[in-house]
Amino acid sequence: MSANESFNPGVVIVAAGRGERASAPEEGPKQYRPIGGRPVIAHTLSVFAEWGGATAGVVAVIHPDDEALFAAAVPENAGIRIVHGGTTRQQSVLNGLEALAERNPSHVLIHDAVRPFFDVALLERVCDGLRAGSDAILPAIAVADTLKKADTDHIVTETVARSGLFAAQTPQAFAFAPILAAHRSAAASGHADFTDDAGIAEWAGIPVKLVDGLADNVKLTYRRDIAMADEKLTRPALPDIRTGNGYDVHKLVPGDGVTLCGVFMPHDMALSGHSDADVAFHALTDALLATCGEGDIGDHFPPSDPQWRGAASSIFLKHAAKIVHDKGGVILNADVSLIAEAPKVGPHRLAMRQNIADCLGITLDRASVKATTNETIGFVGRREGIAAIATASVSYGKMT
Ligand SMILES: Nc1ccn([C@@H]2O[C@H](COP(=O)(O)OP(=O)(O)OP(=O)(O)O)[C@@H](O)[C@H]2O)c(=O)n1
Ligand SMILES: C[C@](O)(CO)[C@H](O)COP(=O)(O)O
């Protein structure tokens, strides 16, 4: 495409098939069967409507028997041109291209009505390929299964190397004049068995460039595909609630007090280590980071960095909360267990909970602090250190 040529794409949606492989003829052609409460084709057209990039218009190619079905499926028909299809997909596409030609498009996107699970990003991706100068763009997915060839008795004759093999999807996108010419030549020369338009482009010598397809962009071919599509759209989305935990220990050394959950408590010892050595806030920082796979406190605030020496650990906790919020998380609650022989936590517990609530932006009833001794056993019991265990729960909306 030259710099001064304007990009004026049209869309052809082929919907004239009979869906023989989807069986259940009494349920009607698959493109009009409901998934998630709406006909398949209504989903497909709504993605193009959301995109709004078909400046040369949209042509829907339908079967002559389906006019009432189409009108019922797309009652708000926003300027979609309807033409009748042929007995093969190839013929239906050609009919659509001939109809679109009147709108003088620079390019065309050709899409199966029965692929409702694509998105605007895919449409933009194929258009970017056209704008970059390709005359034919094919969205495709690298084949992931091991491929076998078998004879008519279903005896495997060969394992086919899958490297370099891709499954073709739609929308396939083309410079308009070359694909129309290729389609016309294929029809005129009796080549009527192309199953996609990229195949016709290849046959006509037009280089076809691949772009990434979408794993979800499946063609609804069989009855089970339609059932699965319906299930996917109707099942309630699960809430995405995640729990993280954290654990920290710091050593007790001679001193005049310890800071736990941001509260300084006079004591005959002090905690040593990273920052102000507030084990509780360190453990809780790790718990929050764990809910979104963001590593641990040391990844964000390396102990070797001198700027953190003696720093208030509320800095780390607030930073973890910001990471969670930036990722769309809503902190549901935070819970800290302190394991220490002394000092007594009880008198400071409310202030500690309030500090947690303030750092995380949650209400006091969602911030909990508990304490226990270690019954004089182990390193905590020998007053060599203080440990903390923390748990945080965060809602990240709905599972996708
Ligand atoms: N004569 C045809 C055949 C197919 N298509 C359209 O091409 C797309 C992909 O085809 P396919 O899944 O094969 O649909 P059907 O031909 O309807 O299915 P089957 O082959 O099982 O009969 C569908 O949106 C279908 O409606 C078309 O417009 N005209
Ligand atoms: C165009 C297509 O959807 C690309 O995968 C496919 O080739 C249509 O083939 P069908 O078997 O005729 O449905």
Predicted confidence (pLDDT) per residue in 202-242, tens digit: 999 999 999 999 999 999 999 999 999 999 999 888 999 99
Nearest Cα neighbor of 312 from 261, 354, 275, 270 is 275
Decide which of 159 and 26 is more confident: 159
Report the distance separating Cα 287 and Cα 268, nearest Å. Answer: 30
Q: Which residues line ligand 2 (CB under 6 A)?
A: 89, 112, 168-170, 195-196, 219
Share of the chain above pLDDT 90, in %: 94
| Entry pTM | 0.71
3 pLDDT band, cuts 50/70/90, is low
Kindly report the average pLDDT of the chain as a whole number. Answer: 96
Q: Average pLDDT in the 372-378 region?
A: 97
CATH of 239-398, one of 3.30.870.10, 3.30.1330.50, 3.40.718.10, 3.60.15.10: 3.30.1330.50
Residues pairing with 243 in the sheet: 393
Q: Which ligand is nearest to the CA of 69?
A: 1
176 marked among binding-site residues:
no
CA atoms lying within 13 Å on the CB side of residue 12: 31
Q: Which two tokens stand for residue 162?
A: 């899958």
Each residue's pLDDT tens digit, 272-314:
998 999 999 999 999 999 999 999 999 999 989 999 999 999 9
Q: Which of 18, 44, 94, 112 to mutate to test the pocket of ligand 2 (most atoms within 8 A of CB)?
A: 112
In CATH, which superfamily holds the domain spanning 9-234? Spore Coat Polysaccharide Biosynthesis Protein SpsA; Chain A (3.90.550.10)
Q: Average pLDDT in the 388-400 region?
A: 94
Report the distance separating Cα 158 and Cα 162, nearest Å. Answer: 12
88 marked among binding-site residues:
no
Local structure of 231: helix, strand or coil: helix
Q: Which ligand is nearest to the CA of 87?
A: 1
259 pLDDT band, cuts 50/70/90, is very high
Q: What residue ranges do the domains of the chain occupy?
A: 9-234, 239-398
Q: Write the residue with the smallest CA distance to atom 12 of ligand 1.
A: 221
191 marked among binding-site residues:
no
Q: Which two tokens stand for residue 232?
A: 């996917």
Neighbours of 71 (CB within 10 A): 12
315 pLDDT band, cuts 50/70/90, is very high
Least-confidence region, from 5-9, 15-19, 154-158, 373-377: 5-9
